[in-house]
Amino acid sequence: MSIFGKTKTAENFPVEKTDAEWREVLSPEAFRVLRGHGTERPGTSPLNGEKRPGIFACAGCGHELFDAGTKFESGTGWPSFFRPLPGGIATTTDRSFFMTRTEVHCAQCGGHLGHVFPDGPPPTGERYCMNGVSLAFVPAGQPAAE
Active-site residue among 58, 106, 109, 129? 129
Instruction: Give the pTM.
Output: 0.87
Residue 145's pLDDT is what?
60
CA-closest candidate to residue 145, choices 102, 108, 94, 104? 108
Average pLDDT, the chain: 89
Q: Is the dihedral of CA 70, 74, 104, 143 positive or negative?
A: positive
* Domain 16-40+53-139 top-level CATH class: mainly beta
Q: Give the separation between CA 135 and CA 62, rounded to whole angstroms.
A: 9
Give residue-wise pLDDT tens across range 113-129: 999 999 999 999 999 99
What pLDDT score was predicted for residue 95? 77
pLDDT tens, position by position, 30-82? 999 999 999 999 999 999 999 999 999 999 999 999 999 999 999 999 999 99
129 noted as active-site residue: yes
